Amino acid sequence: MSRKDKLLNLLKDELKGNFLAASSLEESRLFIDIKKEALVETASQLMKEGARYQMGVGYEAKKKGGGLAMVHTFAFDADSLLVAIRALTAEDEPEFDSLTPFIPGAGWSEREYIDLLGLHFKNHPNPKRLVLSDDWPEGIYPLRQEVPYDLMPPSAEEVAFRLDEAPPGSSIIPFGPFHACLHEPAHFAVYVDGEEIKGCEYRGFMVHRGIEKLAATELTYNEIPFVAERICGICGSVHSVNYAQAVEAASGLKIPRRAEFIRTVMLEIERLHSHLMWLGVAGHLIGFDTVFMQAWRIREKIMWLAESLTGNRKTYGLVIVGGVRRDIDLTKAELIKKTLAEVEKDVQALEKAIINDRSIHRRTKGVGYLSREKAKEWNLVGPVARARGLDIDARRDHPYAAYDEVKFEVVVADSGDVWGTLVVRIKEIYEAIRIIHQCLEKLASRLQGSPLAIEIEDPIPAGQQGLSVVEAPRGEAVHYVLTGDDNRPERWRVRAPTYPNLQAVPDMLLNNKLADFPIIVGSIDPCISCTDRVAVIDRRSASGRILSRQELEKLSREMRSKT
Amino acid sequence: MKVVAVFINLIYFLLLAPFLEGVMRKLTAWIQSRKGPPLYQPYLDLLKLLGKENLNSGGNWAYSLAPVLSFSSMLAAIALIPLTGQANILAHSSDLMTLIYFLTLSGFCLLVGALASGNPFAAVGASREMMTTVMLEPVLAMLLILGTVRVGSFSLTAAVSGVAVSRGVSYFLMLVVYLLALQAFVARQPFDIAEAEVEILEGPYMEYSGPNYALLRYTLNLKRMFYAWLLISSFLSFILPANFFLSLLLQTVLIIVVFVLISLIGATHPRFRIDQALKYYALLLILALIAVGCAVKGW
């Protein structure tokens, strides 16, 4: 009996009348409907069975009176199985039990739907505002069906996020909303005692663009991949591939093998550029600009390669539901091989310089330490998790695209610190190059001339769930799709790798030095845009007027004299 | 001639200091596979800043006065020094303590300005700068005291040239200490801790703009050049020719060589944390004390 059947039987036995239905289009996915009273019981049962929590998805059913739904997804990495449990509640009683008390990593997933759907979570330890801007009016929940995607409530003055009190004996250093070590807006209020970090509070979600809501109201299935790609400026293909896979899974589409290989090649090219970029940024964050410049010099070759393959340095526009739009022919394959040979040589030189540099050791070893147990508790993913001894990698554990046919090593370190992350990411560069070579070989030898995409003739049936994971350079990204009418998904939820990793940052920072803040936060390679995507209408900036320079100066002086 | 020497000091330093920054930037760029700005870029930067607006974000006089005081103290220190080993007119009314006093005052004014700005990052930068000063000023003092012990005079000229009078254990030990401390004296990587752009956003300089910022940058340039000059004219005084112009020429070349060294080290090291740096400074201080002890013994 497979793991899936065992789990299903176990849950049926345990939940009895609270178990409603189960469906499974593929061997590796399991979707369960339960009554909401059994949510905590089911989740704790799954965690006991060794699941890793992934994310929560909340939505309001499109059908009138359909109620509000909360989906939680779990991964069984050793068994290549993803499980989603769904519970419904009536609109006039929007309450679920919170999972956060025993799954800390679920904290944000639940807070998100307090803001966006007006849900309540009983026993949530910290139900503060997470996603919406501070002047967003109470009682308007953007993900509800009645709220239009382009609603712009008037902005309010004199509202600010209420930060928690700093612990006694410490003062607050504000890293953000804009800071040289953060490359996107995010606010860490760091509590310091002298130079030692005693804690921190995070306020983010400042770069909402309303992508999920837009997809559910305005776009069609095959327009979304191009918007999905724009969720992130670094791992764009991860999101377009991931979205396409989720739709394909929900509708049972089988795409051509050649397209799967091409997706794999582009994902790995993206990984190369992302790892080199991170390496450079990490160097910059510890004040080592030579590493920064050299890593980006090497990366530039990858960017040029991507441009000759797709027409763009980034945002490749390659993926559609059902396949890909561009081929990698033999001439392009030759170009890739030539570039990779150069890049590999350059990376080896850079690696030698970094690995043996004792002053880099001093700045990274023991910095941002988190034990394996803590890493597990926070559901860390990607190089950040692998640096802490967690042997997980979606490419191997939940194979997608062509990863079932290529050989590669999952690099794991056990130092649990920034140094471990650095080593993992450098070694993964070589693995990515290996994967690309294998794909090219197979493309050339047996997949010549097959089609790049399938024609989708029948409409995609509504009400089907699809769940997909892709190992982004920073870690596992998860997409959930619930198919709908009107040629668009009813709900599409994106969970970027930064989402779980960022929640663990306060723990990583604790008792480190202030000088290590940039590299610790940098070590998870935070992608704020990915994390902040979600479903909301533009923030104040969209409706705000443009201040003249005089007004701005006056305003900042007034603000200053008040503090 | 002795009066003119004061002005030669000032003009020499004021003209050359920005160029040396240009050398650093160019070399760093080459190491990083970049083209880098032209060598005269720092002059343009200073000119541009001088033409911009001074924003008084601190809102008090201490904040706006600090850059001028810091700059003028540095100039005062430079006016005193025996550029080519010859004492100038100010030597009658000053000694090595005066020099140390002006150097410290210049750094102190920067701290006052940083604290008066009210910016928390500037405050962190100021506290780091303060710790660095407390640990490093004694190392500088030890060097001059070494010279004083050798020649038995508190005069600055004697102290500077006294270092290399005899080249025994104490000379070489002090030379090692000075070279190890050089990067910290000039506040370049791995010791640009008080400015640390990605951590505390240039720390003490953060709130400054326009002419005030230009003065602070200029002060930093002068300070860097001073420490390079001190290395040449104390440890290598015996190779400088007696002819004033030849001596000045050789010194200029050697100062540029020192800046090449500074750039190389700066481009190949990440920044230290302040706690790591303080341990390092403590070691230097102990070695400097031993060097002076050796000098007293006549080794």
Does A517 reach chain B within 8 Å, measured CB to CB? yes
pLDDT single digits (tens) A302-318: 999 999 988 888 888 88
For residue A197, the model assigns a pLDDT of: 84
The CATH homologous superfamily to which domain A3-156 belongs is: NADH:ubiquinone oxidoreductase Nqo5 subunit (3.30.460.80)
Distance CA A83, CA A105 (A): 17
Q: Are B276 and A362 an interchain contact pair (Cβ–Cβ within 8 Å)?
A: yes
Largest CA distance in chain A: 73
pLDDT single digits (tens) B95-111: 888 888 999 999 889 89
pLDDT single digits (tens) A440-452: 988 888 767 778 8
pLDDT bracket for residue A546 (50, 70, 90): very low
Provide the token pair at A501: 């990793």
Does A284 reach chain B within 8 Å, measured CB to CB? yes
pLDDT bracket for residue B255 (50, 70, 90): very high
Residues of chain A neighbouring B121 (CB-CB closer than 8 A): 173
Distance CA A174, CA A161 (A): 13
For residue A537, the model assigns a pLDDT of: 34
pLDDT bracket for residue A545 (50, 70, 90): very low
- Closest chain A residue to the Cα of B274, Cα to Cα: A515
pLDDT bracket for residue B43 (50, 70, 90): very high
Residues of chain B neighbouring A515 (CB-CB closer than 8 A): 193, 196, 199, 271, 273-274
Cis amide bond preceding B190, omega within 30 = yes
Rounded percentage of chain A residues whose pLDDT exceeds 90? 20
Q: Are A195 and B274 an interchain contact pair (Cβ–Cβ within 8 Å)?
A: yes
Strand partners, A467: A480
A509-513: which pairs have CB atoms within 8 A and are 24 or more residues apart? A509/A190, A509/A197, A509/A199, A509/A200, A509/A368, A510/A197, A510/A198, A510/A199, A511/A196, A511/A197, A511/A198, A512/A196, A512/A197, A512/A367, A512/A368, A513/A195, A513/A196, A513/A197, A513/B273, A513/B274, A513/B275
pLDDT single digits (tens) A4-36: 888 888 888 888 888 888 888 788 888 988 888
Provide the token pair at A369: 């330490």
For residue A553, the model assigns a pLDDT of: 59
Q: Is B136 or A530 the better-scoring residue by pLDDT? A: B136
For residue A303, the model assigns a pLDDT of: 92
Q: Are B274 and A288 an interchain contact pair (Cβ–Cβ within 8 Å)?
A: no
CATH number of the structural domain A211-446+464-487+502-532: 1.10.645.10
Q: Are B124 and A514 an interchain contact pair (Cβ–Cβ within 8 Å)?
A: yes
The ipTM assigned to this model is 0.79
By a Cβ cutoff of 8 Å, what residues of chain B touch chain A? 28, 31-34, 57, 59, 120-121, 124, 189-190, 192-193, 196-201, 267-276
Rounded percentage of chain B residues whose pLDDT exceeds 70? 99
Interface-testing mutation among B33, B57, B198, with chain A (most A C-beta atoms within 10 A)? B198
For A287, which of B201, B270, B275 is closest by C-beta distance?
B270
Rounded percentage of chain B residues whose pLDDT exceeds 90? 29
Check pLDDT > 60 for residue A542: no
For A301-324, give the secondary structure using H, E and C: HHHHHHHHHHCCCCCCCCEECCEE
pLDDT single digits (tens) B1-24: 678 888 888 999 999 999 999 999
- Closest chain A residue to the Cα of B202, Cα to Cα: A180
For A288, which of B57, B196, B269 is closest by C-beta distance?
B269
Cβ proximity of B32 and A289 under 8 Å: yes
Distance CA A292, CA A290 (A): 5
For A286, which of B34, B201, B271 is closest by C-beta distance?
B271
Is A211-446+464-487+502-532 in the same CATH topology as A3-156? no
DSSP SS3 for A65: coil
- Closest chain A residue to the Cα of B194, Cα to Cα: A515
For residue B74, the model assigns a pLDDT of: 93
Check pLDDT > 90 for residue A538: no
For residue A479, the model assigns a pLDDT of: 92
For residue A561, the model assigns a pLDDT of: 56
Check pLDDT > 50 for residue A40: yes
For residue B256, the model assigns a pLDDT of: 94
Cβ proximity of B187 and B96 under 8 Å: no
Task: Give alpha helix (H) positions in chain B.
Answer: 2-31, 41-50, 61-80, 96-117, 120-151, 156-162, 169-185, 197-200, 210-230, 244-267, 274-297
pLDDT bracket for residue A544 (50, 70, 90): very low
pLDDT bracket for residue B71 (50, 70, 90): very high
Check pLDDT > 60 for residue A543: no
| Interval A107-117 mean pLDDT | 88
Distance CA A76, CA A467 (A): 14
Check pLDDT > 50 for residue A536: no
Residue with tokens 């202030």: A514
For A290, which of B192, B200, B268 is closest by C-beta distance?
B268
For residue A560, the model assigns a pLDDT of: 54
Burial class (CB in 10 A: 0-12, 13-18, 19+), A326: middle
| Interval A25-54 mean pLDDT | 87
For residue A539, the model assigns a pLDDT of: 35
Write the DSSP symbol of residue A71. E
Residues of chain A neighbouring B190 (CB-CB closer than 8 A): 287, 359
pLDDT bracket for residue A181 (50, 70, 90): confident
For residue A348, the model assigns a pLDDT of: 92
The answer for A 311-330 residues in CB contact with B (under 8 A) is none
Check pLDDT > 60 for residue A549: no
Interface-testing mutation among B31, B193, B200, with chain A (most A C-beta atoms within 10 A)? B200
**Among A209-223, B79-93, B116-130, where is mean pLDDT lowest?**
B79-93
pLDDT bracket for residue A533 (50, 70, 90): low
For B275, which of A289, A513, A518 is closest by C-beta distance?
A513
Check pLDDT > 50 for residue B63: yes
For A517, which of B192, B199, B270 is closest by C-beta distance?
B199
For residue A160, the model assigns a pLDDT of: 74
Does A289 reach chain B within 8 Å, measured CB to CB? yes
The answer for A 331-390 residues in CB contact with B (under 8 A) is 357, 359-360, 362-363
Residues of chain B neighbouring A284 (CB-CB closer than 8 A): 198
pLDDT single digits (tens) A348-395: 999 988 888 888 888 888 888 888 888 888 889 999 999 998 899 999
Nearest-Cα distance to chain A for B281, in Å, is: 16
Domain parsing of chain A, residue ranges:
3-156, 211-446+464-487+502-532
Neighbouring C-beta atoms of residue A376, cutoff 10 Å: 17
Rounded percentage of chain A residues whose pLDDT exceeds 70? 93
pLDDT bracket for residue A556 (50, 70, 90): low
| Interval A147-173 mean pLDDT | 79
For residue B264, the model assigns a pLDDT of: 92
Average pLDDT, chain A: 84
Phi/psi of residue A178, each to 5°?
Answer: -125, 130
For residue B159, the model assigns a pLDDT of: 79
